[in-house]
Structure 1
Amino acid sequence: MASILSKKQKQKHKSTKLSDLKTLGHDLLSSRAHVNNLPKLLSFVFPTSPPQFVLESLLSLQAFFTPLLPDLPSSSSKPSASNASQDDPDFIYRTWLRSKFDELVESLIQVLLSPQSDETLKEVVLDTIMEFVKSGNGGRFHSAIYHRLLRSIVHSTTPANFLLDLLASKYFKYIDVRYFTYISLEKLSRVLDAKDISDDRNLNTDCNDGGHPSESMDLLIHKIHYIMSHIPSLEASVEKTDYDMWSGPGDDEDISGNLKAENKQHMTEKHNDKVLTAASIAKKMKLKFTKAWLSFLRLPLPLDVYKEVLATLHQAVIPYLSNPVLLCDFLTRSYDIGGVISVMALSGLFILMTQYGLEYPNFYEKLYALLLVDACLKSPLLPAYLAAAFAKKLSRLSISVPPSGALVIIALVHNLLRRHPSINCLVNRGGGGATVKDDPEPEQRVADGVNDTATASADKSVKKPGIDPFDNEQSDPIKSNAMRSSLWEIDTLHHHYCPAVSRFVLSLENDLTVRAKTTEISVGDFSSGSYATIFGEQMRRRIKLAPLAYYKVPPTSLFSESESEFLGWTFKCEDSKRKNDINDENGKIDQDCNHNSVKRQRVECS
């Protein structure tokens, strides 16, 4: 059917000239007797029509409808005994005009989203739609037309970045446009959240929502996020009254059209509070902003959108929410996803805790699992057992990471030791630091404020060498036994195969002794390092003396029996046993050779 109509339209376009459209428009504007020219002009506002025909028809139609819009009935109104009878010619005429206007708006949206339309035509069409939005509701903002526009853009199957950029650059500077954009985005997000999403994450929508059965949920979410991320943020001060308005003042209930229970509360407010001025919108903007974002964050966000939202949450969202603590559920759900999403979500939780009074007892337990240390452990008031747990966790990790990672970890541990002098015992304590004293929870005693010098001396005197009591698999730092251990892992980095790591460890040993003359290390200076950068730095160094390994007597084992660095370990040399086995095997070979030679002599004698 659509192909048949398209062929008829092409034939009609071939037989029509641009001058004919000008005549039709002139007659329509000059007399009501030529109102039948209205459907003719509407037939040329179509995606397949030539651009010059669309523009010419649009000029006449816009000039015709603009003065009539305040007197036209709403799209849903029907004749009744209270306002007009069904035989009232004037009401029938205005209802017919309203249907044609709705048809015009729908045709303009089709032209706007058509891939066949060029950018110049799309810009003119968008300006026309926004003019109808400006004055289509008796001089007030026509939210129904604007919501239809945004819904069509979001549900379109074609890329709409050009339209969204155009909308943002030309109209998002008006505070009422931003206000109703948040209202529409909240509705769209709630509709998507209520839809039954199939396993392949395709969205099934009905025709009333302007959707298609094969629409991808990810594509819709990307478009909603693109719109929300391009809306300028409202200034922190709501006292500003010189915001630009796109439309005139109007009634909040009439314009927004929200009949939900949450909006019915405004029915009891005074009339002055219902008038949408720039000041009143500024005061209500946080509420609309919050509802839009909370509705959007309930959607199944794709991974790239998830990362982008979490990366900008602290700057673009949290400061402008009416109650930032409401993000706690979203951030805790994000942490459960794992990977980099967990790290980014934990950063948002930290902001809510430190700036907005969120109580989240499991924060440090989850932080311990993710090793997000330097930015979150700057307070010197943290208990010693907590700082020790993080220092041990990092130190254990340092012996299994590449050199670039070891440099970062050394800087982190150095900062922790400098901020918390109470854990310097981990540096001075030799061996594994374990004791045979029946005290499984010394960290709990430290947390409770118990200070037993006798117990401490007993811990130092009775050692179980060669065993590290630190539990690296424990998720709760208070149960990790870090205060009973030592930082032997950092000491092993003195002999690291990479010179940059060993030099860095040696350079920091004196810093802890002269604490007043040193400062903390910026971890960011090492975050961009890699094996290639370290190798390049070593290649550029001028070496005067090359280290040589010289042994007067070749070693027979990797570790000698007399070395005391490995208390509790034994190293047996299998060399003597191997020599005995070789001698036995050589003896057997010699016996075989002698036996063969004797046998050969006997043969020769015979």
Structure 2
Amino acid sequence: MPSNTRKDVKFSNKNEIKSIKSKTKEFLCDRKNANCLVDIISLSESEEEEVILACIRAFYNIFSNLITHGSMYLERIPTTKDDVEDLSSEEQYRCWLRERYSDVSQRMLELITHQLSTVQELALCTLMKFVAAEGQNPLRKLSEKHLAFPAVLFEKLLLTLLSEEIELRPLIVRFQEFLEYDDVRYYAMKIAHKVLKEKPNHEQLDIYHGNVYALLEQLSLPATDEEKLINFMTKMPDTNASLKINTLRDQKKLFTSLWLEFLRKRLPTSLYKKVLVILHDKVMPYMTSPLLLSDFLTESYNIGGAVSLLALNGLFMLIHTYNLDYPDFYKKLYALFEPNVFHVKYRARFFHLADLFLTSTHLPAYLVAAFAKRLSRLALTVPPCGLLIILPFIYNLLIRHPSCRVLIHRPDTTKGEFTLLENTLQNHYHHEVAMWARKIEQPFPKLEFPLADVLDLTTDQMIEKEMKKKIKEVPVTFEAPYGLLGNKEHRLQDYWALE
């Protein structure tokens, strides 16, 4: 864009912003200037960021003032044209304001899917301020037991966030601050659950499911022993009656139903893995009964590969904390110890969990010995970075279970018996691997080696570490070489052309 054109656009934007501010003041000063609001709504169709942001701020200034002062309040909402004609001029003006409020709300919902994040965020926050204002100052007469929460506006907002066409995860993360309110969280879960149930389980809606997951990930319930919830954005009815919205038990039921409905859907593999990662700490603590996840987790555990690795934590949590009976757990865990486990993204997580599962000293010796032998076989094929996980892992198993030390190499091993093959690794080319292999034959300490120090170790890190070492002695010859193949007169030069 030429510099003159850019300057013209900037100058035009300044004039429009100035006009928006002026029209906002005029509207608030005198209702004779009501058409100023229509002008601002028209200006909000602009494609310029500064103009759109100015319009959103103007909408907030105007309608927060109108809602707070009850300027749009009507005891009876007209449903037909004749009903409107029967109203007084004051009531007709209020009806007109409500229509413009509806237009503005619709425009703000459109801006939530705008390409610019600044516009999206301001539109979202402004709409939530409208929700809060309506909740404190209802636009119509309510009964004593009726909730003041503006569910219609909020449902439109949430359905926009749960778009099937546009990925809105960053905006949903921003929405998390509003989910701290008990009433907002309740209606968000209720609406999301209703919409999820309407979608066929077999239908693949990757963007939609991604947005729903982003919302679910932000949900958490208060860590309190109090059954009654009191943190509300909107005004509660003047009654001590126990409602679903203000009881922790009912919100947990809704949270559980929502998650179970989501897990029935056809999720893409990447999202499936993300779900498995958070189940144990972000979902189970808030469910009415975490055992309801047992079918989902056992099916995931049986899939194999990375999915099985990620299902480990949730499944173990059900077994250890919630008394799930799953006798094949260690059998399936044993089957996951394969060479490819050292090359997956979740390697560190897997070995951390496997170490956790084998921590108990009450496990039978034959079970621990089986894992130690499995690992020792893998040690013959994995790279050094994997060996530096395997050997400390076996070392810790032998510390916990002294009865398994019979597996350490014995010269008189009879046919059919098995040892840890540590003698093979004592001559390994990498000095740290050889050191660990020799360490197994030395007296064992009482304290275990912290596996966390080696779980994330990579081959690149090992090479970098070796490269940074200062070598004090020349390892091959004390005479400095003249080149790769000797000097120019050397006979090897006749057989090689390094060009």
Both proteins in one fold, TM over 0.5: yes
SS of the aligned residue for 2:256 comes to helix
SS of the aligned residue for 1:411 comes to helix
1:242–1:191 distance in 2 versus 1, CA, 3 Å: closer
Cα distance in structure 2, aligned partners of 1:17 and 1:533: 61
Cα distance in structure 1, aligned partners of 2:115 and 2:466: 56
1:363–1:156 distance in 2 versus 1, CA, 3 Å: closer
Cα distance in structure 2, aligned partners of 1:117 and 1:25: 29
Spell out the pairing of 1:57-68 with structure 2 (5 A cutoff): 59-61=61-63, 63-64=65-66, 67=70
- Whether 1:387 aligns to 2:387 is no
- Whether 1:491 aligns to 2:489 is no
Could you state the TM-score of these two structures normalised by the residue count of structure 1? 0.60
Q: Which residue of 2 aligns with 1:569?
A: none
Q: Which residue of 2 aligns with 1:71?
A: 74
Larger Rg: 1
Moved more, 534-543 or 349-358: 534-543
Cα distance in structure 1, aligned partners of 2:237 and 2:42: 34
1:534 Cα deviation after fit: 4.0
Conserved in 2, the CA contact under 8 Å of 1:221 and 1:301?
Answer: yes
Pairs aligned (count): 429
1:117–1:502 distance in 2 versus 1, CA, 3 Å: closer
- Whether 1:228 aligns to 2:226 is no
Cα distance in structure 2, aligned partners of 1:347 and 1:127: 40
Q: Which amino acid aligns with 1:347?
A: N
Query: In the TM superposition, what whole-angstrom CA distance separates every residue of 1:288-341 from its partner, at most 9, and x where no partner exists?
Result: 222222223333333443333333332222222211111212222322443222
Give the counterpart of 1:527 among 455, 460, 481: 455
1:103–1:545 distance in 2 versus 1, CA, 3 Å: closer
Cα distance in structure 2, aligned partners of 1:370 and 1:144: 50
- Whether 1:143 aligns to 2:71 is no
SS of the aligned residue for 2:242 comes to helix
Conserved in 1, the CA contact under 8 Å of 2:72 and 2:97?
Answer: no
1:398–1:116 distance in 2 versus 1, CA, 3 Å: closer
Spell out the pairing of 1:382-421 with structure 2 (5 A cutoff): 382-421=363-402
Conserved in 2, the CA contact under 8 Å of 1:353 and 1:359?
Answer: yes
Cα distance in structure 2, aligned partners of 1:524 and 1:165: 30
1:271–1:426 distance in 2 versus 1, CA, 3 Å: same
1:333–1:73 distance in 2 versus 1, CA, 3 Å: farther
Structure 2 gaps of 5+ residues are 1-14, 338-350, 478-499
Cα distance in structure 2, aligned partners of 1:547 and 1:89: 105
Q: Which amino acid aligns with 2:86?
A: P
1:105 Cα deviation after fit: 2.5
Q: Which amino acid aligns with 1:377?
A: L
Could you state the TM-score of these two structures normalised by the residue count of structure 2? 0.71
1:98–1:168 distance in 2 versus 1, CA, 3 Å: same
1:428 Cα deviation after fit: 5.6
SS of the aligned residue for 2:214 comes to helix
Cα distance in structure 1, aligned partners of 2:84 and 2:387: 87
1:393 Cα deviation after fit: 0.9
Q: Which amino acid aligns with 1:107?
A: R
Q: Which amino acid aligns with 2:398?
A: L
Query: In the TM superposition, what whole-angstrom CA distance separates every residue of 1:43-74 from its partner, at most 9, and x where no partner exists?
Result: 53743384445654664455446626663667
1:24–1:235 distance in 2 versus 1, CA, 3 Å: closer
Structure 1 gaps of 5+ residues are 1-12, 80-84, 202-216, 252-269, 434-464, 469-484, 549-606
- Whether 1:164 aligns to 2:172 is yes
Cα distance in structure 2, aligned partners of 1:545 and 1:114: 65
* Fraction of identical pairs, as percent: 27
Query: In the TM superposition, what whole-angstrom CA distance separates every residue of 1:357-402 from its partner, at most 9, and x where no partner exists?
Result: 1111221111111235322111222223212211111111110111
Q: Which residue of 1 aligns with 2:485?
A: none
Conserved in 1, the CA contact under 8 Å of 2:229 and 2:248?
Answer: no
1:400–1:543 distance in 2 versus 1, CA, 3 Å: farther
- Whether 1:127 aligns to 2:164 is no
Q: Which residue of 1 aligns with 2:186?
A: 179
SS of the aligned residue for 1:246 comes to coil
1:115–1:130 distance in 2 versus 1, CA, 3 Å: farther
- Whether 1:273 aligns to 2:270 is no
